[in-house]
Structure 1
């Protein structure tokens, strides 16, 4: 229902409507989410059948164009993103609101693709940060009004007010994403320093020792054996340091999604260890950022345990979702263990942990805490000689 229908003469109702729309937008941090919520909130605020938000690029098109009221199939049938021509170009040029009773009668109108919905009454407002146009909100086909009537002057003022708040939300989201990018760079630099400090010195010593062994090979075989033993020790230490750094790797923003990040991590570990590390997952699984970060960390800890302690030939990471829940499993075919030894005697195969973190090592307490922090249920399916499955179930 539009603000006019709720009573444009009621300032309290209008303020509440705008406040609700603004709060819906500011709860989100990623730029794409903010754009989607702006469009949805604007359509609901003014009871429009169709809504869109275009973010212009520097090449005569739009970097993003988010719509409301058009299905995915309809949007695909419409075709590529629109270019800056017709009414879109006019709005970008003039930087001012446009309210039209029938967009099809305007001189700037140049038609639509055949699959495009038919638009009539139209309201467009720029989203500006100072003189810069961040985007344009478009509304069309106002609903639940007498035939022939469309958007009003009050609607235009209301959408202009909302656009000012939307500009703040878009700017904040862009700053947040930029900060995340800087965090990724800082993390890479830190890891580069750690690799240099932890591994470079051992590799240098390894090279010198190998040279000494080669020089002694003919005239002092006994000394050569000692030097080669030192080479083996240094190589093992360097590999251990490298593996420790690999286990600290984490996607600072999981920008590619949880499934892609787990797949990449499994591939890295598969190359670093003799154990085969595999991933089988649903790329469509999507959770809030804090939940995805927790799932990644739990998978990382479970992988560390399996590779260090199980003696497994194969470790598999599995990720799947059914719309109601997301399930993460890290399974190995290694030596297994008795969960009762870590759960105060409660034991038994497939033993869910209690409300309090379990005692013992292997990072189980931290895994339990992470799971509990996101409303998940963590369980262990293990027995001596029969491998281990760490299972985390989170509501979708």
Structure 2
């Protein structure tokens, strides 16, 4: 029978998992929640690939330095293989005494008591979740872990020899809690995988649309360029003044074509948010625009900068790009300010310009969107809120708020 405290902890862990949209974030939340829920020293979750290894392997309780020292990801063998192939839980008093145990790298932490649970969606095993080294909670008046259980374990790990003195181990109730958590983890992981697949299909559709738009717009301008160049050639000798006007038109058409290409490249090849981060990417793009345009373009980041879910960062970047494009190309702004504010409740992007402004309702009635539909779609895709405040002659302010994790 599960205690109400255990069920409450599982409920909190499930809510935490369901807040995540990205597969990697879901995996990390599952592992962290399981380790905290069962008070274990280490936790890990491996998602198998089709080649005997793991496509992803997420750990909790191991420092970055330890993780780097351990070396390559494990293979599907021993107890991990049993969980994946047989889809059966594994609760062991000491994993090192099991006949399937095959050792671990020199830098690997010393593991003893072990609880493993397959994460399965029906017949399909999505991953192997396991915990090791159950922490003991001493009774009142009992010896402190610093002088008892944990000290023995540390000495054993350092000596690389005998098993540590055991005073606690994973229980039947622990196994029931982990089974319940794994069932909900499978749902969260499946939903995240479907979300990522949906995003991939959406991006593929966007790329196809952009490619078509690019072909139509640039092909038309290139055709006009050819005709105008031919006219200028015919006029050079008999009417130099008109030929000069045609050359000016060629310059304008070439600039428009270049702008179309630049916009398409930004859409097709988003900035490397994984490498540079959202703040650095926005700062770089605003600096480039500040140099390329007569308008003054600035960027400010406020609050404690931190990584946001990938989908949110992409939405914030895309909305900023669209708002900047509108301000510089359509509004003839002389000043544009981009502010990204981080808070516990999420993040807020604000793009404000002093351009000619517009009536959002009139724009919608006229069938012109200025990218507003795209921006609203991006906001909706990350459960964000988009607001656009503008009127003729008074500039425009575009804000996107995204929720916290």
Deviations 1:282-302 (A, max 9, x none): 9x8423554763466346635
Determine helix, strand or coil for the equivalent of 1:141.
strand
C-alpha spacing 1:148/1:133, structure 2 compared with 1 (3 Å): same
C-alpha spacing 1:267/1:242, structure 2 compared with 1 (3 Å): farther
Determine helix, strand or coil for the equivalent of 2:131.
strand
Q: 1:286 aligns with which of 304, 307, 310?
A: 307
Structure 1: gaps (5+ residues): 1-7, 339-355, 376-394
In structure 2, what is the Cα distance between the partners aligned to 1:262 and 1:127?
39
Deviation of the 1:164 alpha carbon: 1.4
Partner of 2:177: 158
Where relative contact order (Cα < 8 A, 6+ residues apart) is larger, the structure is: 2
Deviations 1:171-219 (A, max 9, x none): 1101111111122222222222222222321211211221333345446
**CA RMSD between the two structures:** 4.5
Determine helix, strand or coil for the equivalent of 1:163.
helix
2:396 is the counterpart of 1:364? yes
Deviations 1:39-75 (A, max 9, x none): 1111122222211101112232222111111122222
Q: 1:144 aligns with which of 130, 136, 144?
A: 136
Tell me if the contact between 1:277 and 1:316 (Cα under 8 Å) persists in the aligned partners.
yes
In structure 1, what is the Cα distance between the partners aligned to 2:289 and 2:77?
50
Tell me if the contact between 2:348 and 2:402 (Cα under 8 Å) persists in the aligned partners.
no
Partner of 1:172: 191
Q: How many residues align?
A: 341
Determine helix, strand or coil for the equivalent of 1:125.
strand
Tell me if the contact between 1:39 and 1:137 (Cα under 8 Å) persists in the aligned partners.
yes
Structure 2: gaps (5+ residues): 139-165, 356-387
2:120 is the counterpart of 1:120? no
Q: Following superposition of structure 1 onto structure 2, how do residues 213-292 of structure 1 map, counting pairs within 5 Å? A: 213-218=232-237, 221=240, 224-239=243-258, 241=260, 251=270, 257-259=277-279, 261-262=281-282, 265=285, 285-288=306-309, 289-290=311-312
Q: 2:211 aligns with which of 186, 192, 195?
A: 192
Q: Following superposition of structure 1 onto structure 2, how do residues 1-396 of structure 1 map, counting pairs within 5 Å? A: 8=1, 10=3, 12-144=4-136, 147-218=166-237, 221=240, 224-239=243-258, 241=260, 251=270, 257-259=277-279, 261-262=281-282, 265=285, 285-288=306-309, 289-290=311-312, 293-294=315-316, 297-298=319-320, 301-302=323-324, 305=327, 309=332, 363-366=395-398, 369-370=399-400, 373=401
Deviation of the 1:105 alpha carbon: 0.6
Tell me if the contact between 1:247 and 1:304 (Cα under 8 Å) persists in the aligned partners.
no
Is the deviation greater in 273-282 or in 153-162?
A: 273-282
In structure 2, what is the Cα distance between the partners aligned to 1:210 and 1:286?
50
Determine helix, strand or coil for the equivalent of 1:365.
strand
C-alpha spacing 1:251/1:57, structure 2 compared with 1 (3 Å): same
Partner of 1:352: none
In structure 1, what is the Cα distance between the partners aligned to 2:290 and 2:83?
54
Tell me if the contact between 2:354 and 2:396 (Cα under 8 Å) persists in the aligned partners.
no
